């Protein structure tokens, strides 16, 4: 078993609230994607999870237990910024990791470095940004952890190596490792993650299984018979989370029964009625775009 | 025969539904025969670079629908009793029905008359199923 639970986590720096009452449950073997605009609180959440920052309020638990020194043997973390020592070689980093942890497969680390094309004899300062990321990834995965916490684990990598990292994550998940990762590349999250959370201003804006979010959320759009057509009925419909109207064009963000809503719109005289699927990027933007979160917005209504 | 599967993770159609649709199509067309083994969850997840729980969900739904059967330790197989083909063909009917629905809805919203829709449909039949005229 390897579950992570975050309950009512809050973290403030002075008056600035970086994370605000965040609760997330991550079951064993899940690949969990953390999304959010810059400054949404992703890295702060990671720091709290690793005890690198004291939580202002709330609890973090691994398998139901608070973080202890023994837990660190089971967690591997790849930070967003480079933490390698400039003057040490990659091989020396491997040796350092081997001494620091009971479990570290040096052969596996060398194999992974080879896969990424990193020369272990090189000093860290001679590595490109991507190769530094690759080195941190190789070290983390060779520890065969129960929990992998990855902050932007593909930054600076070329598309082939990005795909390798995703396949490594998938491989770890199939042996029961629980993975929490953040990425600005939504396409990667869409592939590798089964569940996601979208953070905004430190708060949870949306959470769920990627496939369920896609299955549930649709856009129903159509051209209204006239500009002054009343959309009040749609604003009060609980199946609709957002109403956008510009001139005669109506776009409804629907979470239940899109086909029924489409046919009622058509019956009401709207033309060109269609149901549009939303990908994760659309869902992300819908969740974090300014003043649109589950709000009913009517633009340019006559 | 090994099946070639592709998914578009950037699509708004959930990945597990894309997998189900493709496997049912392969079974309905006989590309995958009864008794044939499917890739393991791990193998398919790695081949397509998609989440393993997503593949497992597709396999569970296919098993519930009677298309495949899974035995612990041996793997997943297309059902060999003909039920798989029937289910897959029915699923094909559903897909076709949805396409018709969407087409007629589109035609209606563009203001086409019933007779015009019927003419379009007849033209499609002549083009794709001319032998049964």
The size of the A-B interface in CB pairs under 8 A is: 85
Residue A302 pLDDT greater than 90, yes or no: no
Whether the predicted pLDDT of A297 surpasses 50? no
**A84 CB burial (10 A radius; 0-12, 13-18, 19+):** buried
Residue B52 contacts A, CB cutoff 8 Å = yes
Interchain CB contact of B24 with A (< 8 Å) = no
Report residue A295's pLDDT band, with 50, 70 and 90 as the boundaries: very low
Residues of B whose CB is below 8 A from A263:
105
Question: With DSSP H G I counted as helix, E B as strand and the rest as coil, what are the percentages for chain A, rounded to 5?
Answer: 35, 30, 35
Cβ atoms of A161 and A116 closer than 8 Å: yes
Q: Please give the share of chain A, as a percent, with pLDDT higher than 70.
A: 96
Its pTM stands at 0.86
Q: What is the mean pLDDT of residues B65-78?
A: 90
Give A11-72 as a DSSP string: EEETTEEEEEEEEEEE-TT-EEEEE-STTSSHHHHHHHHTTSS--SEEEEEETTB---GGGG
Burial B68-85 (b: 16+ CB within 10 A, else e): bbbeeeeebbbbeeeebb
pLDDT at B19: 95
Q: Is A66 left (phi over 0), alpha (psi -120 to 50) or beta?
A: beta
Question: A196 CA to chain B: closest CA distance, Å?
Answer: 12
Instruction: Sort out which chain B residues have CB atoms less than 8 A from A260's CB and list them.
Output: none
pLDDT at B3: 65
Over residues A59-88, the mean pLDDT reads: 94
B83 vs A263: which has the higher pLDDT: A263
Q: Who has greater pLDDT, A202 or B96? A: A202
Answer whether residue A299 shows pLDDT above 50: no
Our CA-based measurement puts residue A171 at a distance from the nearest CA of chain B, in whole angstroms, of 7
pLDDT tens string B84-116: 788 888 888 888 888 888 888 788 877 889 999
B12 to A266: CB separation less than 8 angstroms, yes or no: no
Question: pLDDT > 90: what percent of chain B?
Answer: 47
> By CB neighbour count within 10 A (0-12 exposed, 13-18 middle, 19+ buried), where does A46 fall?
buried
Query: What is the per-residue pLDDT for A285?
Result: 86
Do A191 and B9 count as a contact with CB atoms less than 8 A apart? yes
pLDDT interval class at B1 (50, 70, 90): low
Substitution target from B51, B60, B105, B109 for chain A, most A beta carbons within 10 A:
B51
Cross-chain Cβ contact B49/A166 below 8 Å: yes
Six-digit token string for A286: 């819908």
**Is the pLDDT assigned to residue A300 strictly greater than 50?**
no
Mean pLDDT of A39-56: 92
- pLDDT of B105 reads 79
pLDDT tens figures, A273-292: 888 899 999 889 888 875 44
**Residue B79 forms contact with A (CB below 8 Å):** no
How many Å apart are CA A208 and CA A220, to the nearest integer? 22
Task: Note the Cα A302 to chain centre separation in Å.
Answer: 39
Distance to chain B for A100, nearest Cα, Å: 31
Q: Rounded to a whole number, what is the largest CA-CA distance in chain B?
A: 58
Q: Does ipTM come in above 0.90? A: no
- Reported as a pLDDT band with limits 50, 70 and 90, residue A32 is very high
- Quick check: B10 contacting A, CB < 8 Å? yes
Give the pLDDT band (50/70/90) at residue A58.
very high
pLDDT, tens digit, 9 for 90 and up, residues A115-169: 999 999 999 999 999 999 999 999 999 999 999 999 999 999 999 999 999 999 9
Shortest CB distance from A215 goes to which of B14, B51, B111?
B14
| Distance between A242 CA and the closest CA of chain B, angstroms | 18
Please compute the mean of the pLDDT values over residues A35-61 and round it to a whole number.
Answer: 92
At residue A93, the pLDDT reads: 97
Which chain A residue's Cα is nearest to B11? A279
The overall average pLDDT reported for chain A is 91
Residues of A with CB under 8 A from a CB of B: 29-31, 163, 166-167, 170-171, 173-174, 187, 190-194, 210-212, 214-215, 218, 222, 262-263, 266, 270-274, 276-282
Query: pLDDT tens-digit profile of B19-60?
Result: 999 999 888 888 888 899 999 999 999 999 999 999 999 999
Q: State whether B14 and A193 contact (CB < 8 Å).
A: no
Q: What pLDDT score was predicted for residue B54? A: 96
The predicted pLDDT at position A296 comes to: 44
**Dihedral of CA A129/A135/A138/A141: which sign?**
negative
Contact A60, A48 (CB under 8 A): yes
Asked if B106 has any chain A CB less than 8 Å from its own CB, the reply is yes
Say whether A214 and B13 touch across the interface (CB within 8 A). Answer: yes
pLDDT of the residue at A35:
95
Q: Identify any residues that bridge with A123 across adjacent strands, giving them in sequence order.
A: A89
CA distance B60 to chain A (A): 15
Q: Whole-number mean pLDDT of chain B?
A: 88
């Amino acid at each position: 078993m390897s579950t992570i639970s975050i309950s009512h986590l809050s973290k403030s720096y002075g008056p600035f609230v970086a994370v605000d009452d965040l609760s997330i449950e991550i079951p064993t073997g899940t690949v969990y994607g953390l999304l959010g605009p810059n400054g949404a609180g992703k890295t702060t959440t990671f720091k709290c999870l690793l005890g690198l920052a004291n939580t202002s309020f709330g609890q973090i638990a691994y398998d139901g237990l608070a973080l202890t020194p023994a837990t660190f043997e089971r967690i591997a973390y790849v930070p967003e910024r480079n933490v390698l020592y400039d003057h040490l070689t990659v091989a020396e980093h491997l040796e350092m990791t081997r001494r620091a942890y009971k479990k570290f497969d040096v052969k596996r680390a060398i194999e992974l470095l080879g896969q990424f094309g990193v020369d272990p004899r090189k000093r860290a300062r001679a590595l490109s940004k991507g190769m530094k990321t690759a080195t941190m990834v190789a070290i983390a995965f060779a520890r065969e952890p129960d929990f992998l916490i990855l902050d932007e684990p593909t930054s600076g990598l070329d598309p082939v190596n990005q795909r390798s990292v995703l396949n490594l994550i998938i491989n770890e998940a199939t042996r029961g490792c629980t993975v929490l990762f953040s990425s600005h590349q939504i396409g990667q999250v869409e592939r590798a993650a089964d569940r996601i959370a979208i953070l905004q201003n430190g708060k949870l804006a949306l959470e769920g299984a990627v496939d369920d979010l896609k299955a549930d959320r649709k856009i129903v759009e159509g051209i209204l018979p006239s500009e002054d057509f009343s959309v009040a009925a749609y604003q009060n419909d609980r199946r609709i989370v957002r109403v956008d109207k510009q001139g005669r064009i109506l776009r409804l963000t629907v979470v239940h029964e899109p086909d029924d809503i489409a046919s009622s719109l058509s019956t009401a005289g709207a033309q060109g009625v269609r149901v549009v699927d939303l990908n994760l990027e659309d869902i992300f933007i819908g969740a974090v775009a300014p003043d649109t979160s589950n709000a009913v917005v009517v633009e340019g209504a006559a | 025969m090994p099946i070639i599967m592709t998914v578009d993770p950037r699509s708004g159609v959930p990945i597990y539904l894309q997998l189900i649709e493709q496997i049912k199509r392969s079974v309905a067309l006989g590309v995958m025969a009864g008794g044939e083994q499917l890739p393991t969850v791990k193998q398919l997840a790695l081949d397509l670079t998609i989440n393993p729980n997503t593949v497992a969900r597709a396999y569970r739904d296919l098993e519930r629908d009677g298309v495949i059967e899974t035995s612990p330790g041996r793997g997943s197989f297309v059902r060999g009793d003909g039920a798989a083909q029937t289910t897959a063909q029915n699923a094909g009917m559903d897909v076709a029905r949805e396409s018709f629905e969407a087409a007629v809805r589109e035609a209606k919203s563009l203001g086409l008359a019933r007779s015009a829709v019927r003419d379009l449909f007849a033209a499609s039949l002549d083009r794709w199923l001319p032998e049964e005229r």
